[in-house]
Amino acid sequence: MPPLFNKDEVGRIKKEIEYWEKELVPQWLKRLPERMSEFTTLSGIPVKRIYTPADLEDFDYMEKLGLPGAYPYTRGIHATMYRARLWTMRMFSGFGGPEETNARLKFLIKHGETGLSLAFDYPTLIGIDPDDPLAEGEVGIVGVSVPTLKDMEIIFDGIDMSTVTTNMTINPPAPVLLSFYVATAEKQGVPYTKIGGTTQNDPLKEFIAQKSYVFPPEPAVKVAMDLIEWSVKNLPKWNPISISGYHIREAGSTAVQELAFTIADGIEYVRQLINRGLDVDEFAPRLSFFFDAHINFFEEIAKFRAARRMWAKIMKEWFGAKKPRSMWMRFHTQTAGVSLTAQQPFNNIVRTAIEALAAVLGGTQSLHTNSFDEPFRVPSEFAAKIALRTQQIIAYETGVADTIDPLAGSYYVEWLTDEIEERAWRYIERIERMGGMLEAVKKGFPQREITEASYQFQKDVEEGRKFIVGVNIFVEEEEEEVRNVPLLEFDQEEIEARQKKRIKEIRSNRNKQRWERALNELRKAAERGENIMPYVLEAAKAYATLGEIMSTLKEVYGVYVEPPIY
């Protein structure tokens, strides 16, 4: 297909722009504030005052964009996109004990949520039980406490697991939590073929950003690949990994770094699975991704479009994928937590709406919208419902889902998509020269890059080069709004005591022989280098606790201590 614009037309446009820049704009700028002369995206990409066909010279539509549902999937992975089916409205939920989380999930389902998503407390995230001394005061604080199969059974009491899909944001203990989930579904009579959802199960981003690691890098990746391999063979509707850029962005990265490091993680995992002897078209269709939707509207849309194009190229040209679905980048999006402010907190509703709109225009498959009260604590029902209604208003009132990729062809959006992609490729090339993302992580490369970007952003805010309404511009002396935020109240001490009592009862009443045999077999399998998933599942069914299973694996794999990097 020939370029969209011929050279004569581009030449004429360039001359008009040159006159406009040299003669007219300087006169206008004299009457405008100084800051109107220079702008950049959050990634530091300089943004010109105007974009024209001259910025897309030799732009080949089919090569760069194609059609929705066709390679390179820039415009979307489905031919019909939201005309056939809206994105899944998957609100991240979980706090306190399993009883509180069960009530919150039912509340959200009642108000129109179309997919479940579980947040776990920090003891669960790092694989320790509520009665571990390290867990004191942390049980149920930033998510739900799930140390045993019984807790998962309570969470899904009265919820038909054959009709819902559930995302579980869990990483080192992902095999354990998936086993709890599968065993609970079995008790409901749900066959493996109907169990649907996602385990995050992304160890590399733990070392890069979130820092809730347990095992050293190599065994951590091995355990994650065990889960993927077992899921591909046993759970046909399960997404065994959500390769996560969200935490990378929340740690302070730029959009370009988020995109590059996430894709580099994905490349590492694909190589690991191929090295196990798996065919790329056997597992690639089950890989999923997770991105942040930040506040720079067009940069985020361009990032999502570039992500699809890059992943399709990698899967097709690097790994020889044949199935179109193997080339799809299917991703969940969450609006940016770090963009929300404690100052003037009701402004956060507006921020979240803008970020959610960017995710939709960028073609996300599912979406979580943050609640305006999250700078303070776990969202209240009032705030969570507003966050869900934000998605519903975008879906049913704005018309943005009526046509596919409506910003395609925008001179600015197409230029910015190309620019973000080019900058991300440069990062990936550097990581490849290091030997891949596992080696780059061990050398501290992405960690240093994110720290530098985070520092620069904060410096720009403090020195007035980046504006945050209510923080360094339009600041109010008295924060009356803060006092009016209806915060969620729950008794953490009571929940912690309840969880300790339940785990004590489970240890007293379980079949001791089955429990001991299951943990011994798990240890031996780990020592032999086998896939640990069948053994973890058996231990879960024997009511071994999360902490007991993880301790057994720590004996074999060890515990990671981060070396000094900075």
User: Any idea which architecture 68-401+413-462 has in CATH?
Assistant: Alpha-Beta Barrel (3.20)
| Span between the terminal Cα atoms of the chain, in Å | 50
The structure's pTM equals: 0.93
DSSP secondary structure, 87-113, as one string: PEEEEEE--BSHHHHHHHHHHHHHTT-
Helix/strand/coil for 296: coil
DSSP single-letter state for residue 207: I
Q: Are strands 39-40 and 46-47 parallel, antiparallel or unpaired?
A: antiparallel
DSSP single-letter state for residue 473: B
Segment holding 334, helix H or strand E: strand 331-335
CB neighbours of residue 139 within 10 Å: 27
CB neighbours of residue 450 within 10 Å: 22
- State the chain's maximal CA–CA distance in angstroms: 86
Query: Distance between CA 194 and CA 178 in Å, rounded?
Result: 14
Q: Is 477 exposed, middle or buried (0-12, 13-18, 19+ CB in 10 A)?
A: exposed
User: Measured on CA atoms in the order 323, 325, 326, 327, is the torsion positive or negative?
Assistant: positive
Residue intervals of the chain classified under CATH 3.20.20.240 are 68-401+413-462
Burial 418-434 (b: 16+ CB within 10 A, else e): bbbbebbbebbeebeee
Tens place of pLDDT for every residue, the chain, 566 residues?
555 666 777 777 677 767 666 666 666 555 555 555 578 999 999 999 889 888 888 888 888 999 999 999 999 999 999 999 999 999 888 889 999 999 999 999 999 988 899 999 999 999 999 999 999 999 999 899 999 999 999 999 999 999 999 999 999 999 999 999 999 999 999 999 999 999 999 999 999 999 999 999 999 999 999 999 999 999 999 999 999 999 999 999 999 999 999 999 999 999 999 999 999 999 999 999 999 999 999 999 999 999 999 999 999 999 999 999 999 999 999 999 999 999 999 999 999 999 999 999 999 999 999 999 999 988 988 999 999 999 999 999 999 999 999 999 999 999 999 999 999 999 999 999 999 999 999 999 999 999 999 999 999 999 998 999 999 999 987 766 666 778 888 889 999 999 999 999 999 999 999 999 999 999 999 999 999 999 999 999 999 999 999 999 999 999 999 887 66
